[in-house]
Each structure stands twice: as C-alpha cells, then as structure tokens.
Structure 1
Amino acid sequence: MFTNRKTLLAMSVASVFALSGCSSDDDKNEVVPDPVVPPVTEIVPPDTIVTEQPDKIFSVNVIDATNADALVGAMVTFMVDGEAATSLVDPNGEELSMVTVDDSGNFTFLPKEDATGEVTAQVTFDGYVGKSFVVDLDAQVDEGSNDIPLDFALVPADSEGLASATTEVELTDATTIDPIVAVASKDGAKSDVTIPAGTTLKDANGDAVAGGAVKLNVLAADSSVSGTGLIIPDGLNENSTTEVKESLGVTNITMTAGETKVKQFTPAINVSVTLPASSGVSEGDILNVSSHNEDTGMWKDEQFKATVGAANTDGTYPASFMTDHLTFFSMNKSVPICTSGVTVKVVGGTLPARGLAVSMTSPDGSISSYIRSTTKQIISGASTARFGISSDAVAKVRLYDRAGNTWYEQENQPICGDVEVTLNNTVETFDSAVTLNGVCAADNTVNPDLSGSIVTYAKDGKAASLAQGQGNSTFSLAGLEAGGTYKVRATIRGAKVDGGGQSQTFTFENVQSTDTLTGQVSIECEEREVTGTN
C-alpha cells in the first residue's frame, strides 16, 4: 500500500490541473453584477416660489395726463439725494433703480425691509415733458388691500398752454461767435433766452465743451392754464414750513453740444419769462427763483432774483433774470400755508370697488392720489407745506377710473380742507376674477401654487390696476367694462416662466360678466430624487 504513494500523488496533482484548466474558464462560470436600479425621481415646484402676497407693493402707471393712455417705453429712474436709489426691489427681490416701461404701461416695486423716507422718480418719454415725482415709501395701504397705486402722468409737449422752440448752430469750440437766441411763444406762453457772443459753454463739471453742433431748447408755459401745473416737478416746497412757494411762471431750458449737456456759462445769460395778467404782480416786483436739476431730481433756491418789467399791452408781465446755468426754473412768491390738509369726501354717487384716481391741478402745481373709501385725507395738515398747498389754493379736481373715464370734474375748486365731490358715472362695470393655472413645464400634472404672484390688469392700453389676491391662485378683477379687452400680466415670484423671464401676459377679449377667466402659466420646475422608498 505504501509503495503506491507516488502514483496517488501524481493522480491528485493531475486532477487539480484538470479542474483548474490552467486558469482558463472553460466552464463559463461568469460573475453577473447586480442590476443598476435608476433612482426614482419626481417633478416638483422650486422651493423658492412665493405663495404669499406682500404686505405692501407700489403699483406704478406711466400715462398720458390727458387720456390715461399707457406710455410704453417710458424711462423711469429712481434717485435719492441725486444718486441712484438703493432702497427698492422688484417683485423678485432684485434691486431696482431704473425701469423701461413694458407694453402693460405698468410696473411694480417693493421697498426694501426697513426702507423709509422718499425717493424721486425721474420720468421721460419722447414727445412729452419729462417730470420728477416724489414717492413716499412710508405711505400706508388701505384696509383690505396691499397696493399703493401711483400715476406718473406726463403732459404732451404740444399741449394747450405750452410753447417750445429750438435753435441750432455750429461752433468750432466752446465760445459763441454770434448771439444764440431762442424764443418759445404761443398764445400766453412765452420764454426768451439770449446767449451773447463771446459766451463760453461748459458742462456740468465746469469744463469747456468741444463745440460742434449746438442745440438750444426752450419750453414756455402759460401759467394761467391749470394744466400747465402738471409739468412742474414734485418737490418745489420740500423744505417749506410756515409758508409755501406759489409758482407764477416757469420755463425749462436745455442745451447740448454734440452729445454733451451744456449746464454752465461764462458770463451769465439773460432769461425772460412772461407772467399772466392774473399773477398779481406789478412792475418792479422782485421774485424768488428756484431751479430743478433734471439729472439729480433736486430743487434748490437760487441766489439771483427775477425782476418784473412793465406790463405788456395784453396785461401780461415780463420777468427777467440772469443765470450762469441751465435747467427748469420757477419764479415764485410766498403765500400762507394750508393747515387743514386736503380731504376728499364723496357726498353723492357710488364709489366703485376698484377705487378712483384723484388729480388736482393748478397753474402752480399738481397732486395725484387715489381713493377707495368715501372719505380720505390725501394730504395731512402736517404735509401741506411739502406739497405747496396754500390757504386759498384752488385747483381743477378730477376723479377718474383706470380706463380714463371721468367720474367727477370741477374747475377752480378750493382744496384746503374738505373737497366734496358727487360722482357721476355712465359706464356700467362688473367685478370678476382670474385664476392662474400653474403647471410645471416638465410635467403638467404638477400644479404649483401661484397665490403669491403679482397680477395687474388693464383695459385697451389704459392704466393698470393691481388685482388683489384671493388665495388658491385666484385674483380679483374689479370694475371691468362689458365687452372690453383686458390685458392681464402675472409676475411669478420666486420662479421662472418656461422659456425664461418672470412674467406672462394674457389677453381676454370681449369680456362679459358671465365669463370664467383663467390663464395657464408653465414654469420651470425641478427634478428631484425620491427618498425613503423601498
């Protein structure tokens, strides 16, 4: 038995090699990896989407003062103390200091948290007289609403009571060779500007301009026409306390040399402005002069004065002054202040739920506000100085809706104290609502809550209103006119509309009280892995 050990060992070794196949895998015993199971995902709205309405939002219309038409393409620049404002944000929290008005004619903004005080909005549009408006960030919303409606109303440059003129010359350098004269005159509006030969033209920094094509523009206003007060920039009486400045005459003078604004002169130039016979001045009177800088939106009291000359044959008076710079000028007299405030009281007719815009215009200024209740103090007694309201102030008072329909209008109505109005409306309106049907672009079965969106609506290119949120992505549309065409714009807060941007616009034609208004908004959603599943 022991003599066969070698044979047995050899057989064992041979068996091992036979089984191993010399490291080959002829028996096809491959290792199969576990299958890869893709993660389960779902489409969900972004976490950043806002579902609650803001406590306060400013809703701004830039409109034609004569008919409430939206001025698409108008430029609005916000400033504080002459510098770009840093206290405002758009509905999605992005800092806002400049806006180009889109085809809705409306835009909205919010003050930053803890922002207080005032900002100045400088508004320009081709063919219209530019103007600055003062916005009070501390304004309070009415009960049951969250918006502060603002109308930035501009006057067409060819309106009644306005006259304009332009003179163009070519200069080889900054010094005039011959006098440059521009006379704006039409009806009772007249302003004469004379730049003598040998005058050096300078920019805002006091540096001599390079010459080239020089253009002198002059705007005159007939201060006996109530509507001309609409062109006076807000803030003339910003620093008034016990008395207010009453503007008797205004003129706006601008000049360019090529692309450079001419702002200063050496020596001073002469300006003459015609004051209406009703201004109450006499020959030899000395008037204070204030100037408004269109680049900074700020007023200042000038050191120089205007002297009233002999009466013209039509009873008007020339008032002249010398200035070494160009801008918007107002010649003023001081008058007693109104201490009662300005309160609008509806004593007849029915105020629509949507509310009405309030316009008060006089030759020496204008007030813009709104009412949603039958009694509202639009200017407090403590604020009348800032708005330039005198104790015997009268104005053209007009209440109108966002479609431009006039509900009340009265010339020469006293406005210090209670301003009683009786509403008369011939347009039948109804209230409705619009529901935003939010869907995710990648899965239209997922419905984001769009209740926090900012929704505005406007009829046929007129001024827009903010639609108050009702919850469940539904927004009220008050004061619609049967058969009208309405543009509804929804700005989605915290999410982007499919294809980019934050807003989507819907047009509803021939709207009737029985219509159900809905608009589908497809937004960019997120794909996320589902966790916690087996």
Structure 2
Amino acid sequence: MFTNKKSLLALSVASAIALSGCFSDKKGADAPPPVEPPPAVIVQPEAPVALAPVANVNVIDAESADLVAANISFFENGTASTNVVDIDGNVTATIDSTDGSFTFQLKSGASVSEVTAIVTADTYITKSYVIELEDLSEGNLDLQLKLISKDTAGVATTEVTASVAGGATPDEITGGVADGKAAANVTVAAGTILQDADGNAIPGDSVSLAIVTADTSTSSGTAITPEGLNAAESATTLTPVSVASIVMVDNTGVKIKKFSQPITIEMALPEDKGFTTGDELTLLSQNEDTGVWTTETQKLVVGDLVTAENYYNASFATDHLTTFAGVTVSDTCSVPVRILTTGDAIPADGLYVDISSASVNFSKKLKANNPILVKLNKLSKRGIATDTTANLVITDSSDTVWFETTSEVALCGDIPVVLDGPAVVNETLSLVAQCSNDTSLTVGASGALVKYSLGNKSKKVAKDEGEGTYALRNLLDGSTYNVSVTYKGSLADLGTKTYTITADGTDETQTESIVCDTATGGTGATGGS
C-alpha cells in the first residue's frame, strides 16, 4: 500500500500545532477570574422592644424618707410567690436591695391581684405590706414602703437570752419591756418543751426572746402593725388597739413556733380605748414568716389598770409565737376616699399621700387624673371605718411637702386639700447606642429601665416615650439628679450605666458605644443579610 508522503507531513504539522495549544507554558491564559468575597458590613442593632410595666418600689425611713437597704420576700396566700419576676423574666421570690429601691413584674400570663411583701432591714421593725397590683396592667406602679426604726418614739423593744436543755426550759423564761404605754411581757413556765414549726424539740442549748411593741394611742401602734389585718369588701373593719411581736430563736437559728404547754403574754391596752377590767377583745395573730393573719380562739382579757401610765394589762395564753393584735370592730366606711385638690396641679407622675393615726397607717400614690385614693371595695382592707380619722401629708418622691393637715381629718368621703408645690421642670432624656466600628450607625435605646432620684430619696421610673426617649418629670428646678439606665434587648451588653443631670428644663442626650455585629453583603442600615 502506498502512502502520499506530502499528506502525511501536513497532517503531522497540523497535529503538532494543535497539541502545542494544549501544553502551552503560558500560565492562566484562559483561566476564570478569582471570586472576590462580598464586603463586610456593620449591622445596626435592632431597637429593643418597650419594657412592660413595672412595679417600682422604694423602702424608706418613715422619718427621713431616705432609702433603706432591705430584704424583701414575696408571698401569695401564705406561700412563696412564683409569679413575681425581675425585668429579665426570672422568678424572684426574694430580693436583697442594697439601696432600698427595686422593680419587679408579673410573670407572663399570671393573674395576681396582690402580693404580700415582708420587709426586713437592720435597726428597723420588720413589717409586711400588701401590694395591690390591679393597676399594673395600665402602666408603671409606684409604691413607698415605710419602715420605722427601733428607736422611734412610742416603740419599745427588748431581747433576753436563756438556757435550755434537751429542748426544754430548766427554769422559767421571762422577758418584758415598758416605755410609757408601749409595754409587753412574756412568761414561759419551767419544763416547757420549745418546738419548731413541725412540733420537734429545738436542737439548741440557748434561746433569744425578742419583743417589739408600741403605744397604740399614737400612730406608732399602727406603724408596726403588719398590713393585711382586714379583708377586702367587708362590712366591718378591725382596728388594732394592743399589739406585740414576739420571736424566739435558738442558737442554731431554729425558730420556736410552738410550746408543749401554754405560755402567758401581756400587752398594754391604753385606757382611752374605752375598755375596763374584765372585758374581752378579739385576738388575731400573724405568721411573720408568711404574712397570713388568723383569728385566735383565745380572747385578749383586760386586766388591772396601771394608773401611772394610763393603760390596762391585757393578757392571753397561747401555745405559739408570732405577732398578736387585739382589735375593735367598727362599721366600714361606705363611700370612696377622694382627695379633692385645688391650688397647684398634681404632677403627671402623681403624688404620695401618707395617712397615719392610731387607727390607720398607709401610703398610696394619688394619680393626676383620678381623685379616688381608696376605692369602695378596698375601704375595709385599708382599715377605714365610718369614723376613722388621720393626719395627711402629701409629698412628691423627693419628700417635698405639697400639703399637710394641722390635725386629724375624717377619711370617709371627700377630703379637700390645697396643693402648694415647689418650682419644677420636666426634661426628656434621649438614649442613643452608637456602633464603635461604624459611628455613622446609631439606634435609639428603647426598652431600657430608666430610674432617677434626688439624692437618697425614692427613685422614679421614667416613662418610655419611644425611640429611646424618656420623660423625666417633676424635677426640682436647679437640683442634681442621679439617673440609672439598665439597657435591654439587643443593647443588653451595655449593662447598667449611671449618670447625673442638672434639672434646668434642658433636654438631655446620652450616647453609649457598642461593638456592632458584622455581616456580609447588604447594607448596615437594613441590618445586613
């Protein structure tokens, strides 16, 4: 077979040329361009959602109105509350407030109309308060819980110690205190077995017996009486006329709650209460650990008159220790208590009305748009009978007096008052969070808990007006205020910040720097992708 040599040569040349294109040493001649990563974008934080209404509580000294560091325990119907939560949603049945001011909310879905708060503080008389929560759904709720110190006029306290053996008293234990009409005595017979709440003999070898009482012919008696003595919507009202708190604890910390045989307790009953030797009064006791009141089967029996001090020794026998109150019974007031004001207008955030007498003692916020201080269905619970009288002092949160009675006035019905307030200003505080990695990106710090106060007086919660602005109301013109801000939501990393402002009517702005997240693609203004 013959081959055309010229054709073979042409084919070889063509193949070589074709192959040289495949094996060219020119790198990347036809390679695709590299993929560039999308640019990093700073993401502006989302604005936090508004904070739900809070109960804003201030524990204060009844005389100075200064805040008092305190421990607060919450109860519902005698058991530790499971519905009180902090602003992060954590259940908090107990709060240790280092400055006496705290806030709480109700757990989502909770249907709670009131809680009992038991408040203890060094050098003060422990007291329980009933906190009404019906209005919390309408907005922030402001409360002042006033404590009286142990050295307050009209109050008497004492503490004695004694040895025990095998849980029993080898000798009689006696303790007593007397300061005018503030007097009480306790006698525990020898051989009495001291028991805990479950009826077990105590383990300790010594006990301390603490007695607190007060002169019930003055407001001191009602000031130490725990709230909750009366029920709501009752046709009758109970008024304490003889009060004493008696607590016994062994040296291991176990409380003595029961005794193997009755002990004797005596309390002063002022002569002006209208009783005489041989009379009997209804006796109630309150469990100081839960805040629950119970009517005792025993009666408080009026004994001999102590002529020098104008009081009767009233006594009873009991097998347990707690707070005891002898009471009188009266018809409940049948119309709401209204404060009818003239003169200066009530500030938008309201004023505190402090009511005190030998019959009643409480503090409540008067709203700017509602003259009713005590509703019809709360009259008996507040201890307001048809003939109840009291002194009134109306103040703002800085304890500036706007009105004060010169003598006791009738509480049942309308109370006319002329308000005379100080020069005040209002300001707006704008809170801004700025990205430290792109200062052109900012967001209004909505949803924060903003509190402000004058010195060591009660703190107020600023109203959130949206987009990071907060209303600071009723500021004493020219005064310096402390402001604390607890940031929430996407700005929670900022924690709590404190500032000071001067009340001069000029709006304030505070900017905080935060490291913002980064993302790829999109734009920072729209939150990235």
TM exceeding 0.5? yes
The 3-state SS of whatever aligns with 2:299 is strand
Tell me, in whole angstroms, the C-alpha distance in 2 between the residues paired with 1:524 and 1:137.
39
Match of 2:454 among 433, 453, 459: 459
**2:68 equivalent to 1:75:** no
Tell me, in whole angstroms, the C-alpha distance in 2 between the residues paired with 1:441 and 1:230.
53
Residue 111 of structure 1 deviates from its aligned partner by: 5.6
**2:125 equivalent to 1:129:** yes
Residue 516 of structure 1 deviates from its aligned partner by: 3.8
The alpha-carbon distance between structure 1 residues 323 and 514, as it changes in their structure 2 partners (threshold 3 A), is same
Would the aligned equivalents of 1:433 and 1:477 in 2 still touch at CA under 8 Å?
A: yes
Would the aligned equivalents of 2:54 and 2:103 in 1 still touch at CA under 8 Å?
A: no
Match of 1:196 among 171, 189, 192: 189
**2:299 equivalent to 1:305:** yes
The alpha-carbon distance between structure 1 residues 282 and 517, as it changes in their structure 2 partners (threshold 3 A), is same
1:428-467 equivalences under 5 Å are 428-440=423-435, 442-467=437-462
Match of 2:249 among 256, 261, 281: 256
Match of 1:471 among 450, 460, 466: 466
Would the aligned equivalents of 1:89 and 1:109 in 2 still touch at CA under 8 Å?
A: yes
| Identity of matched residues, % | 32
Tell me, in whole angstroms, the C-alpha distance in 2 between the residues paired with 1:337 and 1:296.
26
Would the aligned equivalents of 1:63 and 1:463 in 2 still touch at CA under 8 Å?
A: yes
- Normalising to structure 1: TM-score of the pair? 0.88
The 3-state SS of whatever aligns with 2:152 is coil
Would the aligned equivalents of 2:392 and 2:404 in 1 still touch at CA under 8 Å?
A: yes
Residue 319 of structure 1 deviates from its aligned partner by: 0.8
Would the aligned equivalents of 2:219 and 2:361 in 1 still touch at CA under 8 Å?
A: no
Report the residue type matching 1:292 in the other structure: Q
Tell me, in whole angstroms, the C-alpha distance in 1 between the residues paired with 2:491 and 2:399.
33
Structure 1 match to 2:363: 368
Structure 1 match to 2:202: 209
Tell me, in whole angstroms, the C-alpha distance in 1 between the residues paired with 2:316 and 2:232.
23
Where structure 2 has 5 or more consecutive residues not aligned to the other structure, the ranges are none
Match of 1:91 among 82, 87, 106: 87
Tell me, in whole angstroms, the C-alpha distance in 1 between the residues paired with 2:80 and 2:462.
30
Would the aligned equivalents of 2:264 and 2:315 in 1 still touch at CA under 8 Å?
A: yes
Would the aligned equivalents of 1:104 and 1:464 in 2 still touch at CA under 8 Å?
A: no
Deviations 1:314-338 (A, max 9, x none): 3211110111111111111211111
Structure 1 match to 2:147: 154
The alpha-carbon distance between structure 1 residues 107 and 443, as it changes in their structure 2 partners (threshold 3 A), is farther
Match of 2:58 among 53, 56, 61: 61
Tell me, in whole angstroms, the C-alpha distance in 2 between the residues paired with 1:280 and 1:521.
65
Report the residue type matching 1:214 in the other structure: V
Residue 506 of structure 1 deviates from its aligned partner by: 1.6
**2:350 equivalent to 1:355:** yes
Would the aligned equivalents of 1:504 and 1:521 in 2 still touch at CA under 8 Å?
A: no
Residue 432 of structure 1 deviates from its aligned partner by: 1.8
Would the aligned equivalents of 1:433 and 1:475 in 2 still touch at CA under 8 Å?
A: yes
Would the aligned equivalents of 1:437 and 1:521 in 2 still touch at CA under 8 Å?
A: yes
Tell me, in whole angstroms, the C-alpha distance in 2 between the residues paired with 1:195 and 1:2.
140
The 3-state SS of whatever aligns with 2:212 is strand
Structure 2 match to 1:118: 114
- Normalising to structure 2: TM-score of the pair? 0.88
Deviations 1:342-401 (A, max 9, x none): 111114444334421011112243222112337511212222122221110011211111
Would the aligned equivalents of 1:44 and 1:528 in 2 still touch at CA under 8 Å?
A: no
Tell me, in whole angstroms, the C-alpha distance in 1 between the residues paired with 2:515 and 2:99.
24
Would the aligned equivalents of 1:369 and 1:378 in 2 still touch at CA under 8 Å?
A: yes
Residue 250 of structure 1 deviates from its aligned partner by: 0.7
Report the residue type matching 1:43 in the other structure: V
Where structure 1 has 5 or more consecutive residues not aligned to the other structure, the ranges are none
Would the aligned equivalents of 1:204 and 1:264 in 2 still touch at CA under 8 Å?
A: yes
The 3-state SS of whatever aligns with 2:381 is helix
Deviations 1:133-190 (A, max 9, x none): 1122212677xxx322111221112111111100123334311111222212223211
Would the aligned equivalents of 1:62 and 1:71 in 2 still touch at CA under 8 Å?
A: yes
Tell me, in whole angstroms, the C-alpha distance in 2 between the residues paired with 1:130 and 1:440.
48
Report the residue type matching 1:64 in the other structure: D
The 3-state SS of whatever aligns with 2:380 is helix
The 3-state SS of whatever aligns with 1:463 is coil
Residue 493 of structure 1 deviates from its aligned partner by: 3.3
The 3-state SS of whatever aligns with 1:387 is coil
1:333-348 equivalences under 5 Å are 333-348=328-343
